[in-house]
Amino acid sequence: MRDDLVVAGTLVSFHAHPDDEAIHTGGTMARAAEAGHRVVLVVATKGEHGKVANGFLDEGETLADRRVAETAEAARILGVHRVAYLGYIDSGMAGTPDNDGDGSFWRADLDEAAGRLAEILREEDAEVLTVYDHHGGYDHPDHIQVHRVGVRAAELAGTPRVYEATMDRDEIRRLVRELSDELREKVERPGDAELWNPDELTIGVPGDQITTAVNVLDYVDRKRQALAAHRSQVDDTSFFLAMPPDMFRLAFGTEWYVRRGAPPGTREDWLFPDEV
């Protein structure tokens, strides 16, 4: 930890499923931990409805068991001090029967779920909470619910700074336009047509809504390692790990946020205001 830093805060990063933490806020969490902050990862579900190849799991092992173990390893890589689960069930993709399943996060009572998270925020005296933007980045039901529950929990607990993890849609469109055909061939997968048409990309928010762009280039390798720890969902052929390292750095070297309640025109580069 640098001697010129004033550090006295806890970051709680709230996510829907195991592996979301590495994708959306992995660099921020690693940077905060290295700066001396306490970092707490809260996951709403155990990702029970993820897909896994036949024979991947050990005899008697559930996917939830494996994903909890993978999350523990990813958290270790990122320097996370505590991992907690809210106890809900993965709601699956939009429009699937799992959305309405018993105990699904999507159908959870808002105040009940927010109360569970608020209890952790109070226990940790959290200074900063990360959630997702209003449409969960890409309209996944559980991600939208993270936004709703997280915002309400911060109100209940009085957490002073809430950041919506998102993507700079304009920057992503620019990167896609500049991506060479050679690199595109290395990572393109069936069904990715929308991803490679920048005019149709709807992920994240427009760049003028971004308040906070966090440089995590020094932590990209750890972010990639944390992703790789989620082996049941992110193998070497996945979109993320199929990227050459230099392309991964370009795509994931910045993590973007919208700080709730920030004055218009806010432009900042970190989540803790007291670091100098």
Q: What domains lie within the chain, and their CATH numbers?
A: 10-259 (3.40.50.10320)
Residue 4 pLDDT class (50, 70, 90 cuts): very low
**Comparison of pLDDT for 246 and 105, the residue scoring more:** 105
- Contact by Cβ (8 Å): 212, 271: yes
0.85 exceeded by pTM: yes
For the chain, the average pLDDT equals 89
The span from the CA of 16 to the CA of 22, in Å, is: 12
Residue 57 pLDDT class (50, 70, 90 cuts): very high
Residue 5 has a pLDDT of: 45
The distance of Cα 117 from the centroid of its chain, to the nearest Å, equals 16
In which element (H, E) is residue 28 found?
A: helix 20-34
Residue 185 pLDDT class (50, 70, 90 cuts): low
